[in-house]
Amino acid sequence: MWAVVVAGGSGRRFGAPKQFAHVGGRPLVAWALDAAATCAAGTVLVVPPDRLAGGAVVGAGRLRADAVVPGGATRSASVRAGLAAVPDDAGIVVVHDAARPLATPSLFRAVVSALVDDPDLAAAIPGVPVTDTLKRLDGTRVAATVPRDGLVAVQTPQAFRADVLRRAHASGDDATDDAGMVEQAGGTVRVVEGEHANVKVTVESDLALAELLVACAGRRGSAGARERSPNPPGAAAPGTSEPGTSEPGTEVEG
């Protein structure tokens, strides 16, 4: 199993490439890579082309990935760039957004296990029930209230049969969600229980929330906190002398 960590966005709504903003003293992308590395045989990191110089990720410190590739103009193009770097013999590919730094290793294992346990599945994705009331608008006026029964908000990491994901992306289409592309191609997608703390950093206030969650988890000193950070800030990874890195992977100097 290989993982593709997508960190190729420009951060237009955030005001800067958010994937390199810091939470708990580390870039968001570093947290995402660490979690992916706990269950992947290899990781591919996709970054903006202007952040890649001589194999190093500019301004990101030390990261651990087996391959670092430049992304494309859209998220789908960036995923395709990452897929191209995944070995052909990989049976499962997990796609994860660097903007979700707090996904736990358990969540990665859950989506992969769902795929392994059911050979009929094309993909397994995490989701959390929608708790807000939803309204469909006509301009700024409310057209209808949407029943929320059976609705979930979908997250990453998302696990896919590698061949199915490659075929879905062969169309060259764009989508905000890889599972949606697989659904359109006729693949069966299962939803597993997501994590409410698996927040997506989109605007500045999201970063503050992620910082608060990391700080609270650290104060609790719980198993869940340790799992969210395989190597907490300042702790050396097994077999390394560098803080905030994890095995396996190749160290990338930023």
Q: What are the pLDDT tens digits along the chain (254 aa)?
A: 999 999 976 556 565 667 888 898 889 999 999 999 998 999 999 998 887 776 667 666 678 889 999 999 999 999 999 999 999 999 999 999 999 999 999 999 999 999 999 999 999 999 999 999 999 999 999 999 999 999 999 999 999 999 999 999 998 888 889 999 999 999 999 999 999 999 999 888 888 999 999 888 765 544 444 454 444 333 333 333 233 333 445 666 55
Q: Which CATH class is domain 2-126+154-252?
A: alpha beta
Helix locations, 133-245, DSSP H? 162-169, 178-184, 204-220, 223-228
Domain boundaries, the chain: 2-126+154-252
Determine contact, residues 148/134, Cβ cutoff 8 Å.
yes
DSSP for residue 195: -
